Structure 1
Amino acid sequence: MTLPAPLTGVVPPVCTPLTPDREVDTASLTRLVDHLVEGGVDGLFVLGSTSEVAYLTDRQRALVLDTVVRHVGGQLPVLAGAIDMTTPRVLDHARALAGAGADAVVVTAPFYTRTHPAEVARHFRLVARGCPAPVFAYDLPVSVHTKLGADLVLELAEEGVLAGLKDSSGDEGGFRTVVLGKRLGLARFSVLTGSEVTVDSALAMGADGVVPGLGNVDPAGYVRLYRACREGDWARARAEQERLCGLFGMVAAGDPARMGGSSSALGAFKAALHLRGVITFPTTADPQIPLSPEETKTVGKHLAAAGLL
């Protein structure tokens, strides 16, 4: 389908359900897509951090996109992460994703190599020039160790290199600078927050939408939050945001003495989807460590407190 310009609303980064032998569980993936569509979301982002893209083989990445694109059938725009270390590898992914039906590709700064801002800018320009689909920048400094400066993002947006920004940096000042810059003639550029817990604040600033990992678990909650903000009902928005903040506490269910933050957060999202009957297995990709039964009970307590179990 034609990508709205700007893309607005709730665009969850779709989890990738896996079987116990770590293959893509396509049946669960289609149920998850139905769960998100029924929740009222405005688009889907596959092959991002919450999708465990870093752990998937190229074959699995292709299967995820093909499954989602075919199942959605043009009902919603599908964005896909072209996540890799350097420009030639990202271009290969981006062209393949666009050819397989992605409505836009999502690209980080280069990583592993140490880069200069001029090289980061060149990276995005070359990807946009070589890819037939619109390009969204993904600001994820915690993983790629490069912060996309607001001035650079706005410069690339003005050139038409970028169709939008997914900001998961936590830099609210920089995010606001991009939002303010958008008002000066960048009406078609989409500014999306990747923070689950400050959506009301981001929308009050002028953000176009949200890409919430927790939206896999409670898509309808984020849709209610988005609509309350757009209607200017800030009391209702605050109440919904605070309920979602409580639900987000599930990401700390895993014991940090034995697992990393990604294992805990992604394990919690998948455990929650399993407990809600959306996916068959709560399996996470290797080498992540699975939640214990007790940690899974903690996830269930967060679901119950939020009225989801």
Structure 2
Amino acid sequence: MPFPAPLTGVVPPVCTPLTPEHEVDVPSLLRLVDHLVAGGVHGLFVLGSSGEAAFLPDRQRRLVVETVVSHVAGQLPVLAGAIDMTTARVLDHVREVTAAGARAVVVTAPFYTRTHPAEIARHYRRVAAGSPVPVLAYDIPTAVHTKLPADVVLDLAADGVLAGLKDSSGDLAGFRTVVSGVRARPDLTGFSVLTGSEVIVDAAMAVGADGSVPGLANVDPEGYVRLDRLCRTGDRDAARAEQERLCALFGMVGVGDPARMGGNSSALGAFKAALHLRGIIDCPVTAEPQVPLSPEEVERVGKLMAAAGLS
């Protein structure tokens, strides 16, 4: 399948099910992909934050891409994260995931070392020059400690370096600046602007987003597909009600006790607990050194799911 320009709709960042021994659970991954496809999603993004890419060794990263690409067999575009600290390391990942069949790569700014906007632009230009598939920028300042400047994104888009933006910054004003800049340029009609924030999809769509990449869509793909459709048809009241239901469900990311675990452990643990409770994955384990949820915290996840109408 050729990569769509622009990419639109709901593109979940697919969780990576693991066995108790912390290997990729391929049968569970296949069931999760089937669950997402049945939910009507428009693409799949593997090796993102919800996919625990930062925790997976290279052999497991490649296995995830090969498994998903082979299973969907061209039904949907598969994007893969090529996420690492420096340009050279990112290019290594680009070669691996594209050889495994990814139709686009999603790339953050460099991290660990402090960077300048000029260095970020240089990074994306070099990655794009070495990539056989489109490159989307991934704006996630909580993870890389750099906010992608709107002017840098727009300049790179205008030069054909970037094919899109996944914005997980939560900065709706900054997101709107990019959307407005893209819409003002007829030559950028193929550039995809996607929100990665679960709780402001309706607002992002209202200002012109092409779609969303919500981690919670692993748990409730039908809900996000419904929300996307309501936004596109202009049914604002129904869209707001659906977004509010999803916001309440998203409360599961906070079930973990902050005195003993970080937000990542809580959020990914909740997503996986929900998928386990729904019978989609066999084991809710998260990658080391994340802390597992307690039985009481898992019970809270179940109550939030029930309140949202999920079983």
Shorter-chain TM-score range:
over 0.9
Query: What's the counterpart of residue 198 of structure 1?
Result: 200
| Structure-2 separation of matches of 1:94 and 1:125 | 14
Give the whole-Å Cα distance in 1 for the aligned partners of 2:98 and 2:308: 38
Whole-angstrom CA distance in 1 between matches of 2:206 and 2:273? 32
Name the structure 2 match of 1:290: 292
Q: Given the alignment of the two structures, is residue 103 of structure 1 paired with residue 103 of structure 2, yes or no?
A: yes
What amino acid does structure 1 have at the position aligned with 2:67?
Answer: T
Mark the runs of 5 or more structure 1 residues left unpaired by the alignment: none
Q: Counterpart in 2 of 1:90?
A: 90
5+ unaligned residues in a row in structure 2: which ranges? none
1:227 maps to: 229
2:74 aligned with 1:54: no
How far 1:131 sits from its partner (Å)? Answer: 0.7
> In 2, distance between residues paired with 1:85 and 1:223?
33
Q: Does 1:70 align with 2:70?
A: yes
Note the C-alpha offset of 1:171. Answer: 1.2
Q: Report the CA distance between 1:96 and its aligned residue.
A: 1.5
Cα distance in structure 1, aligned partners of 2:76 and 2:197: 22
Q: Is 1:36 aligned to 2:39, yes or no?
A: no
Q: How does 1:77-226 map to 2 (within 5 A)?
A: 77-184=77-184, 185=186, 186-226=188-228
Aligned to 2:241: 239
Deviation, structure 1 residue 182: 0.8
In the comparison of the two structures, how many residue pairs are matched? 309
Inter-partner Cα distance in structure 2 for 1:217 and 1:116: 37
Supply the distance in 1 between the matched residues of 2:145 and 2:298 (Cα, whole angstroms). Answer: 31
1:114 to partner: Cα distance? 1.2
Percent of aligned positions with the same letter in both sequences? 75
When the two structures are superposed, what TM-score results if normalisation uses the length of structure 1?
A: 0.99
Q: Any idea what SS the aligned residue of 2:194 has?
A: strand
Distance in 2, Cα, partners of 1:113 & 1:243: 40
Check if 1:248 corresponds to 2:250: yes
Q: Secondary structure at the match of 2:153?
A: helix
1:280: Cα distance to partner? 0.4
Counterpart residue type for residue 200 of structure 2: T
Q: What is the CA RMSD across the aligned residues, in angstroms? A: 0.5
* Mapping 1:18-29, distance limit 5 Å: 18-29=18-29
AA aligned opposite 1:151 = D
Residues in 2 aligned to 1:100 and 1:19: alpha-carbon distance in whole angstroms:
22
Quote the Cα distance in structure 1 between the aligned partners of 2:113 and 2:37: 38
